[in-house]
Copies of this chain bind each other. A is one copy, B any other.
Amino acid sequence: MVTPRLRSKKLSEPTIARLPVYQRIAEGFARRGLSRIDSEQIGQLAGVTATTVRRDLAGLGSFGTRGAGYDVSVLNERIGEALGHDRSYDVVVVGLGNLGRALVNSSNFLIRGARLAALYDVDPAVIGVEIAGHVVRNVDDGIVPATVGVICAPASAAQFVADRLVEADVHAILNFSPQVVTVPIGTAVHYVDFSIELQILMYHLNNGTGPLGGGVLHSLGIASPSGRRPS
């Protein structure tokens, strides 16, 4: 059993959730013409400690320079490699109500290798309409094989859509409907529920003692360094 060189260092779940954030920060620096960044700066912007940043990045191999931080473009590249951005993959979106349209038209959703393959709906009023360069097809005509399926249908149709996606051999599903769906083992389902974020925010507000830091990133359970004040 040879130790894999770069790939599959088995990153932890929290680390994986933070890497895209670091990458966004790196892109911001690059856009402003800066070529170097240190763990302190990344942590400040991402709302985590510098140590956490260093540990996360150390997991991708040692590419920082002691005394000088990280090269912004190398950082960007390494995170991309770790997250598999070199490969591109097909995404199908099912359900083109307000949310579905917002997603496929967004410049921040289908990025980093994601390629929109097809759109589906069941509503005759929507089928045939062209959205984001794709003509919306009928779910009943069968879904084209893809890597990821996105469910933007109402809760009542979520399980139906999930079943159609499974039939189409889609093994990764992103479900935006507030409905738990059951799928066979071997298929991953991630849920995105906007109202949960609102509810978490309200809990902290009601109980005072929430992580109310400055410029802090809390998405995906990322907590702020407690009692540490920025700058």
Contact = CB atoms under 8 A, between A and B. Distances in A.
B182 A87 contact: no
Contacts of A46: 180
A89 interface: yes
Interface in A127-176: 147-148, 155, 171-172, 174
B200 A108 contact: no
A14 interface: yes
B102 A98 contact: yes
Contacts of A58: none
A214 B191 contact: no
A34 interface: no
A215 B148 contact: no
A198 interface: yes
A188 B174 contact: no
Contact of A221 (B19, B98, B221, B230): B221
State which size class the interface on A falls in: 35 or more
Given A83-B199, A114-B198, A194-B106, A205 B188 contact: yes
B210 A188 contact: yes
A79 to B, nearest CB: 10
A222 to B, nearest CB: 8
B24 A215 contact: no
Oligomer copy total: 2
A74 interface: no
B148 A195 contact: no
B194 A109 contact: yes
Contacts of A83: 199, 202-203
B199 A14 contact: no
Given A24-B179, A148-B205, A187-B214, 20 more contacts: A16-B203, A20-B195, A24-B178, A83-B202, A83-B203, A84-B202, A98-B98, A99-B99, A99-B106, A101-B102, A106-B194, A108-B155, A109-B194, A113-B202, A171-B212, A180-B215, A191-B217, A191-B218, A192-B194, A193-B219
A117 interface: no
Contact of A215 (B21, B181, B199): B181
A211 interface: yes
